[in-house]
Amino acid sequence: MPQDEHKEGVGGMINPTRYGIERVAYLLMRLSGLGLLAYFVAHIYETSNILRGQVGWNEFLELTQTTEGHIFLAIVIAMCVFHTVNGIRVMLGHGGVGVGKPARPDYPYDPASQNYRHKIGIYSSIVLAAVATMYGLAVMFGE
């Protein structure tokens, strides 16, 4: 019998309520990455409607003029902005930028990699995503 490894599983992986804002960013990065991928595929499908000529194209475009369409696009804006800004932070971190310098550890052992630079990066991506989304909503619903 294979041994039960007592893994936390997907539920543990996506749980954003422990280990601070860094785990919230981790979850949002995954969700927005997958969301953008789904949008990307749908977008290719949508734009392929041009093969049906002007009528088909306009018919499909009308979907984006509905309230649901506006909300959908607002979510896409939020995902896009968060994923890009946080993605730049993550790429810098992965290259060892802004993760602190090794030093002799002292009690209470605050980890230098979990620092304000990266936290500011996370909060900025959330705030920028919110601002861009509100701007998008104002434009779309203000028409």
Partner 1 sequence: MAQVSSISNEQSSTAKSIILKISRYNPEHDESSQFMEFNVKYEKWTTVLEAILDVKKHFDHSVAVRYSCRQATCGSCGMIINGKPRLACFTKISELDSNVVTVEPMNNFPVIRDLAVKFEKLFDSHQKIKPYLIRDDTELVSDEKEFLQTPEEVEQYIQFANCIKCGLCNSACPTMATDSSFVGPQALAQAYRYVADSRDKGKDSRLKIIDDSHGIWRCHFAGSCSQVCPKGVDPAMGIQLLRGYMLGFRS
Which residues here bind ligand HEM, judged by CB under 6 A? 29-30, 33-34, 36-37, 40, 83-84, 87-88, 90-91
Cβ nearer to ligand HEM, comparing 91 with 138 = 91
Interface with partner 1, residue 54, by CB under 8 A:
no
Distance CA 82, CA 74 (A): 12
For 85: left if phi > 0, alpha if psi spans -120 to 50, otherwise beta; the answer is: alpha
Residues 21-50 as x/- pattern, contact with partner 1 by CB under 8 A: -xx-xx--x---------------------
Interface with partner 1, residue 116, by CB under 8 A:
no
C-alpha atoms less than 13 angstroms from C-alpha of 44 in its C-beta half-sphere:
5
Cβ nearer to partner 1, comparing 106 with 143 = 106
Q: Spell out the residues 6+ positions from residue 103 whose beta carbon is closer than 8 angstroms to its own.
A: 112
Lookup: tokens for 91: 């790429």
Cβ nearer to partner 1, comparing 4 with 68 = 4
Cβ nearer to ligand HEM, comparing 29 with 78 = 29
Distance CA 143, CA 141 (A): 6
Interface with partner 1, residue 9, by CB under 8 A:
yes
